[in-house]
Amino acid sequence: MQICSPLVLLLCASFVYGQSVEESPEVMRAKSGIDKLRALVEAGVAPRVQLERAEAAIADAEDAALLRKTLYGADLSEEQTDQMMAAADRRLDRRQKAVEEAKRLIAGGVASQLSLTPALAEMDSARKERDLAESRARLSRELAQMALNEELLQNKLTQEPAEAKTLADRFDGDGIFSMGTMSRVQMEFSKHFGKPLPVSAVGETATHRGLGFDHTGRVDVALHPALPEGRWLLEYLTDHRIPYFAFRHAVPGKATGAHIHIGPMSTRLKLGG
């Protein structure tokens, strides 16, 4: 299972995450003077194409602000994930159309070949942006499937304890786990495999809260327990008596979800205070 820098994505939340699309500087700049321009167009003083370009610039600025908010947000809902992908698709589509228009003008002798260079550069940038959004969406959906697996296990532990072991291998260890311990796990994994431990969730997430779980002090790792890295991690956790749940199977009907949950099982949130 390949995850693209999940911990970096999870920890890169900044002030822009809480900033609304409407408040972003690029949207404010794009909207500047739009009402006056609309009035001029309605009065027949300015061409309608000028207004259409201004409105397109606003839509693009809103998409850019939404992407900045979601690509580096600490947590995404399913709705936000869909919005992020739609915004990335729209921005790439606009730049592909700009390249086509530039080529049309060149073919008609209206513009020089040099005018195509910036359009191609912007299209390439939008394509990379879209690839990043796709990676972020994949991580977000993977995390959701992991949380659903934990919800299913929690229900089995409560209602059908004998069946719970079919969902995950459980090791209670000494029952103690801390972020200091996690740092040592990460260091040893990196030393052994020469790459970072693919952490998908550190502590509380909106996904877990939405399912009614307190995931504080727990960590989810995007490794299949049957793969070499997963087997090594389970052996390390067992040797150091660190509690874990190893999910070998996905949520029924879902595409993925196998992972290793480090720490005690998440507890149910107390509602109403």
Residues 130 and 153 in one domain: no
- Distance between CA atoms of residues 150 and 167, nearest Å: 9
C-alpha pair distances (Å), 106 with each of 92, 96, 117, 121, 222: 21, 16, 12, 17, 49
Residues 130 and 182 in one domain: no
Domain total in the chain: 2
Q: Indicate whether this model's pTM tops 0.85.
A: no
pLDDT of residue 213: 75
Do 259 and 220 meet the contact criterion of CB atoms below 8 Å apart?
yes
Last residue of a domain, one of 142, 173, 204: 142
The phi and psi torsions of 263 (rounded to 5 degrees) equal 110, 175
In a domain, 1, yes or no: no
Do 235 and 246 meet the contact criterion of CB atoms below 8 Å apart?
no
95: pLDDT confidence band, cut at 50, 70 and 90? very high
Range of the domain at 210: 143-268
Residues 131 and 161 in one domain: no
pLDDT tens, 115-174? 999 999 999 999 999 999 998 888 888 777 887 888 888 788 878 887 787 788 889 999
Last residue of a domain, one of 142, 166, 187: 142
Residues 127 and 148 in one domain: no
Residues 137 and 157 in one domain: no
In a domain, 80, yes or no: yes
Residues 82 and 173 in one domain: no
Q: Which two tokens stand for residue 121?
A: 């550069």
Residues 27 and 58 in one domain: yes
Do 201 and 11 meet the contact criterion of CB atoms below 8 Å apart?
no
pLDDT tens, 39-79? 888 889 889 988 888 888 889 999 999 998 888 776 787 78
Q: Which residue has the higher pLDDT, 182 or 9?
A: 182
Query: What percent of the chain is modeled with pLDDT above 90?
Result: 40
In a domain, 55, yes or no: yes
Q: What are 119-125's contacts with CB under 8 Å, separation 24+?
A: 119/95, 122/95, 122/98, 123/92, 123/95, 123/96, 123/98, 123/99, 125/95
Query: What percent of the chain is modeled with pLDDT above 70?
Result: 85
Q: Which two tokens stand for residue 27?
A: 């949207």
Last residue of a domain, one of 118, 142, 166: 142
Residues 158 and 255 in one domain: yes
